[in-house]
């Protein structure tokens, strides 16, 4: 009997212990589920915060990109204005002698009366009509010869300059006879330019410069389609002359600069076969070693044909003072 009671007690204690363990396991499961929920909530919250931060970062990057674009546009505008100012100064320097001469003439001829001015006005109207006709002829020539737009643009610029000079003469009451003489000479120049514009030289699209071999450290090098087409060079028999080296129709040749047609924004080189003109030259950023980026147009002309192409490159000879100083350290 005692054994039976003892066995019953042992079984009862084991049953109680088992029930306690099961309860603990259930509590552990509840705790684990609770921890999983907390961890999932934390993950979702962190994910949301990361997404919000990524959105903020993207917004900041967009703002930075816009600001960089605005800064770049502003710098480009400043460079363009600087180039325009340089061209204007260059034109002023080129015309300084003529302006001084006109001022001297005006000082000596200020005694003109109203009748002379009236006569001059009639002459000016007649000459303006002739100039208008010349402009019309230039426009017709442009329509017939597509690639000569640049020459016609230069002609129109000359016409506008002449109109400005005529107006200045009108205001200052210059002597009628002398004024007509000056204007007549200018019209002769314009007619000569018009005849040149309407010449019978034909356009040859295949007349393009070819790649030349790069050697040493040139003063300037110009390229087209990522190929170097122009390098500065020299001639031992003419050490004072300025030359360029080009390849045209598979022939390497030297062309000498015509100093009378030289400016920073337009320069002409020639030999017995070809004349090449660099014009509409714009200067960009400094690139180190005293160089400056350039872009422009190149006209290649022989006695029977011509073509115009765009070029780009680096210029150390005609670069700005700022670029040269930066290049010299």
- Mean of the per-residue pLDDT values of the chain: 77
Question: Is the pLDDT at 45 greater than 80, yes or no?
Answer: yes
285: its two tokens: 């950023």
Question: Is the pLDDT at 55 greater than 80, yes or no?
Answer: yes
Taking residues 242-261, report their average pLDDT.
Answer: 92
HSE of 321, CA atoms in CB hemisphere, 13 A:
2
> 313 falls in which pLDDT band (50, 70, 90)?
very high
Query: Checking DSSP bridges between strand 202-203 and strand 305-315, what pairing results, if any?
Result: parallel
The pLDDT score that the predictor gives to residue 173 is 45
Question: Is the pLDDT at 99 greater than 80, yes or no?
Answer: no
Taking residues 271-290, report their average pLDDT.
Answer: 91
Task: Select the more confidently predicted residue: 101 or 170.
Answer: 101
Taking residues 236-254, report their average pLDDT.
Answer: 93
Please write the tens of the pLDDT for every residue from 113-152: 666 766 667 767 666 766 766 666 655 555 555 555 555 5
Question: Is the pLDDT at 309 greater than 80, yes or no?
Answer: yes
147: its two tokens: 């690639």
The pLDDT score that the predictor gives to residue 166 is 52
User: What predicted TM-score, i.e. pTM, was given to this entire model?
Assistant: 0.42
The pLDDT score that the predictor gives to residue 277 is 95
Please write the tens of the pLDDT for every residue from 145-159: 555 555 555 555 555
Question: Is the pLDDT at 195 greater than 70, yes or no?
Answer: no
Question: Is the pLDDT at 182 greater than 80, yes or no?
Answer: no
Instruction: For residues 276 and 253, give the distance between their C-alpha atoms in angstroms, rounded to a whole number.
Output: 12
Taking residues 59-85, report their average pLDDT.
Answer: 87
129: its two tokens: 């009509």
Task: Select the more confidently predicted residue: 126 or 88.
Answer: 88
What angle, 0 to 180 degrees and rounded to 10, lies between the N-to-C axes of helices 149-172 and 96-108?
20
**308-314: Cβ within 8 A, 24+ apart:** 308/147, 308/150, 309/208, 309/209, 309/224, 310/224, 311/222, 311/223, 311/224, 311/229, 311/230, 311/278, 312/222, 312/223, 312/224, 313/220, 313/221, 313/222, 313/223, 313/228, 313/230, 314/220, 314/221, 314/287
DSSP code per residue over 141-176: HHHH-GGGHHHHHHHHHHHHHHHHHHHHHHHHT--H
Question: Is the pLDDT at 216 greater than 90, yes or no?
Answer: no
> 37 falls in which pLDDT band (50, 70, 90)?
confident
Question: Is the pLDDT at 261 greater than 90, yes or no?
Answer: no
High-pLDDT (> 90) share of the chain, %:
25
H-only helix segments in 235-284: none
The pLDDT score that the predictor gives to residue 270 is 95
């Amino acid at each position: 009997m005692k054994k039976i009671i003892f066995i019953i007690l042992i079984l009862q204690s084991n049953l109680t212990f088992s029930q306690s363990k099961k309860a603990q396991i259930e509590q552990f499961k509840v705790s684990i589920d609770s921890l999983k929920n907390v961890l999932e909530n934390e993950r979702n919250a962190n994910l949301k915060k990361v997404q919000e931060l990524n959105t903020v970062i993207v917004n900041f990057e967009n703002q930075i990109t816009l600001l960089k674009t605005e800064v770049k546009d502003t710098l480009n505008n400043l460079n363009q204005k600087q180039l325009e100012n340089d061209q204007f100064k260059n034109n002023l320097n080129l015309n300084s002698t003529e302006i001084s001469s006109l001022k001297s003439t005006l000082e000596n001829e200020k005694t003109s009366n109203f009748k002379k001015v009236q006569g001059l006005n009639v002459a000016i109207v007649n000459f303006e009509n002739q100039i208008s006709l010349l402009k019309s002829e230039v426009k017709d020539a442009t329509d017939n010869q597509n690639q000569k737009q640049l020459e016609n643009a230069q002609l129109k610029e000359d016409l506008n300059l002449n109109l400005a000079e005529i107006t200045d003469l009108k205001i200052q009451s210059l002597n009628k006879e002398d004024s007509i003489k000056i204007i007549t000479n200018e019209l002769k120049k314009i007619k000569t330019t018009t005849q040149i514009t309407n010449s019978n030289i034909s356009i040859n699209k295949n007349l393009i410069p070819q790649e030349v071999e790069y050697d040493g450290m040139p003063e300037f090098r110009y390229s087209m389609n990522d190929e170097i087409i122009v390098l500065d060079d020299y001639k031992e028999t003419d050490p004072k002359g300025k030359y360029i080296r080009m390849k045209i129709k598979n022939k390497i040749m030297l062309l000498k600069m015509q100093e009378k047609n030289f400016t920073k924004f337009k320069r002409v080189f020639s030999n017995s076969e070809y004349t090449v003109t660099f014009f509409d030259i714009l200067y960009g950023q400094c690139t180190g070693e005293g160089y400056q980026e350039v872009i422009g147009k190149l006209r290649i002309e022989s006695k029977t044909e011509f073509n115009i192409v765009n070029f780009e490159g680096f210029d150390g000879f005609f670069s700005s003072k700022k670029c040269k100083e930066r290049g010299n350290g």
